[in-house]
Amino acid sequence: MRRNFFQLRLLPATLSIATVACGTSSAASRSSAGQSASSPAAVVIDAGHGGFDRGGIPGQSVPEKEMTLDVAQRLKALLADSGYRVIMTRDSDVFVPLATRVSIANSYQNAIFICIHFNSAKRVGADGIETYFYSRDSLPLASAVHYFVAGGAPSPNRGVRRRGYYVLRKTRVPAVLVECGFLTNPTEAQYVQNASYRQKLAEEIAAGIRGRSSVASTLSSARVATGESIPLQSYIDQTKARSSDRSRSKRSSKKSSKTKSSKKKKSSQPAESEANATQKEGGG
């Protein structure tokens, strides 16, 4: 499982992007609610699954719950070093109900919520990074996190997607769920089993959090523009087009997503459902 792992180089280029986008860590200046403008934003980190909930699909060899916790703990250290107040929904191998995770996030007014997951699919070829958000206010954060994680990982970019997962729908603070690759894909599973790769993932997520802060503070009133200010809009559009195209028919792959058919996309279609989406809804 560990052979020739170091194909992935840990890209200095992405780090320089991070430097550009980060700017100041002025997250607190957004402070739409509650806390004083001088206090750093709180980041609630949610390591997916835990305890009896191993994550992934039956028979999966790499336990998702361990990978999410490890990345979460690395992220915690990075953010704490940057002056963020960090709260973990779990910091060990325990099961935490989704409602508890949400209420932890909602107990901090000036917070952002980061759910860390890895994907799985019956098709071993399924691979790539995808990031989910639900509320419009979460889009800048989702865009920023995805920009860095997808940019820093050697995996395909599956785009930013909007979906009503419980932990995204019920949180009252900006919330995103990042799927850091497929543990059922041999190549990505190899990456993830390497500690330096998990550190890299944590660094990219942290860069996204810092990047989102500076973007949000300069464009806090223009919500859509905030999302567009990060060069990721094309991925969002492309994702919508792609999922509707695939779920409807393959012949129209050249058509844009402007048609009515994209309105009614069903998330249960193959292109979507190969990811273990429902598990986040039901089991965390």
84-143 residues in contact with Zn ion (CB under 5 A) are 117
Query: CB of 283: closest distance to Zn ion in angstroms?
Result: 8
Q: Which residues of 114-128 are buried (b: 16+ CB within 10 A; e: fewer)?
A: bbbbbbbbeeeebbb
Q: Residue 179 or residue 245: which is nearer to Zn ion going by CB?
A: 179
> How many CB atoms are closer than 10 A to CB 39?
14
Q: Residue 129 or residue 241: which is nearer to Zn ion going by CB?
A: 129
Query: CB of 98: closest distance to Zn ion in angstroms?
Result: 11
Query: CB of 69: closest distance to Zn ion in angstroms?
Result: 12
- Report residue 205 as tokens: 């997520």
159 binds Zn ion (CB under 5 A): no
H helix or E strand, kind and range, residue 88: strand 85-88
Query: CB of 53: closest distance to Zn ion in angstroms?
Result: 9
Whether 19 contacts 27, CB under 8 Å: no
Query: CB of 279: closest distance to Zn ion in angstroms?
Result: 6
Q: Residue 48 or residue 208: which is nearer to Zn ion going by CB?
A: 48
**β-strand pairing of 42-47 with 111-119:** parallel
Q: Residue 115 or residue 215: which is nearer to Zn ion going by CB?
A: 115
User: Which residues is 112 bridged to in the sheet?
Assistant: 43
Q: How many angstroms separate the CA atoms of 155 and 269, rounded?
A: 22
> How many CB atoms are closer than 10 A to CB 21?
18
Whether 163 contacts 131, CB under 8 Å: no
Residue nearest to Zn ion (CB): 117
Q: How many chain residues bind Zn ion (CB under 5 A)?
A: 3
Q: Residue 16 or residue 92: which is nearer to Zn ion going by CB?
A: 92
Q: Residue 115 or residue 144: which is nearer to Zn ion going by CB?
A: 115
52-81 footprint of Zn ion as x/- string (CB under 5 A) = ---x--------------------------
Q: How many angstroms separate the CA atoms of 272 and 256, rounded?
A: 18
> How many CB atoms are closer than 10 A to CB 40?
18
Query: CB of 70: closest distance to Zn ion in angstroms?
Result: 14
Kindly tell me which residue out of 25, 40, 48, 192 binds Zn ion, with binding defined by CB under 5 A.
48
Residues near Zn ion, by CB under 5 A: 48, 55, 117
